[in-house]
Amino acid sequence: MQRITLALSLLALALAPTACGKKDKQSKNPDEASESDKDPLEELKGIPVAIQAEVDMVLQPINDVDVVIEQISTMSGRLGIDAKGLTSMASASLTDGKVEVNVDISAEAKAEVQALLETVKGIGIGLKEMPSRVPVATKNIVGHGAKAVALVAQLTAKYQAKLSSPFTKADEKLKIQGELDMVVKLDADIKGTVGDAKTTVMALPAKGTEALAKITAAFSAG
């Protein structure tokens, strides 16, 4: 009886690693699964949006300059704040990153001025960091373009294989051809978007310098 029990125990130990091995082989990393589950066509459609986001990240401080100058020109009279005091606070936010509302006004007016100063602070940081942001944005734009090329190749091969298959039905082929045509158009559009985005971003440091001079002069004049 003891020999039988010992033999069964040894057999269980021998089989245990095999069972664990099968379980490990079948398990999936959640990140890997989510990565493989992505629809390549949807990824391709999202690339122009991603490229525009890179441009906007660098461009936003420049766009905000005219908005802030306009807001400051009307805010002092509308909220009853001394114009020079307001521009002094804005200048401190621009150059030193200080957001301090040191005037006696209502809580609502104070919140509005503070929001303005936060925007001015962001402009100052964005314009100063523009020379370092441009290369990063350019690299990311090129990366999105390279990803698009890979996705186009993947989708084209997939659709062409289905179109040439004798098992693909006629109505399905029409749908596949439509998606292939969409891929071809997206490919051309994205290539144009990449070129335009790179040109835009590369010109921004000079525009950033102009924008900084413009807002500094506006605060000085106020």
Q: How much is the mean pLDDT over the chain?
A: 87
Task: Judge whether 141 lies within some domain.
Answer: yes
Task: Judge whether 94 lies within some domain.
Answer: yes
**What's the whole-number mean pLDDT along residues 60-80?**
94
Q: What angle do CA 93, 54, 180 make, to 5 degrees?
A: 160
**What's the whole-number mean pLDDT along residues 78-103?**
93
Task: Judge whether 106 lies within some domain.
Answer: yes
What pLDDT is recorded for position 23?
42
What pLDDT is recorded for position 24?
44
Task: Judge whether 73 lies within some domain.
Answer: yes
Residue 149 above 80 pLDDT?
Answer: yes
What pLDDT is recorded for position 11?
40
Higher model confidence: residue 161 or residue 5?
Answer: 161
Q: What percentage of the chain carries pLDDT values higher than 90?
A: 79
Q: What CA–CA distances, in Å, run from 87 to 70, 112, 116, 125, 210?
A: 12, 14, 11, 18, 19
Residue 8 above 90 pLDDT?
Answer: no
Task: Give the span between the Cα atoms of 141 and 180, in whole angstroms.
Answer: 24
| Helical axes 170-202 vs 204-221, angle rounded to 10° | 60
Domain count, the chain: 1
Band of residue 37 on the pLDDT scale cut at 50, 70, 90 = confident
Task: Give the span between the Cα atoms of 71 and 117, in whole angstroms.
Answer: 11
Task: Give the span between the Cα atoms of 128 and 205, in whole angstroms.
Answer: 10
pLDDT in tens, 121-141: 999 999 999 999 999 999 999
What pLDDT is recorded for position 35?
53
Task: Judge whether 135 lies within some domain.
Answer: yes
Write down the pTM of the prediction. 0.78
What tokens appear for 95 in the block? Answer: 């150059």
Task: Judge whether 61 lies within some domain.
Answer: yes
Task: Judge whether 170 lies within some domain.
Answer: yes
What pLDDT is recorded for position 36?
57
- What range does the domain containing 162 cover? 43-221
What pLDDT is recorded for position 160?
97
Of 22-26, 50-54, 101-105, 210-214, least confident by mean pLDDT is: 22-26
Task: Judge whether 69 lies within some domain.
Answer: yes
Residue 2 above 60 pLDDT?
Answer: no
Q: Could you tell me if 214 and 75 are in contact, meaning their C-beta atoms sit under 8 angstroms apart?
A: no
Residue 30 above 90 pLDDT?
Answer: no
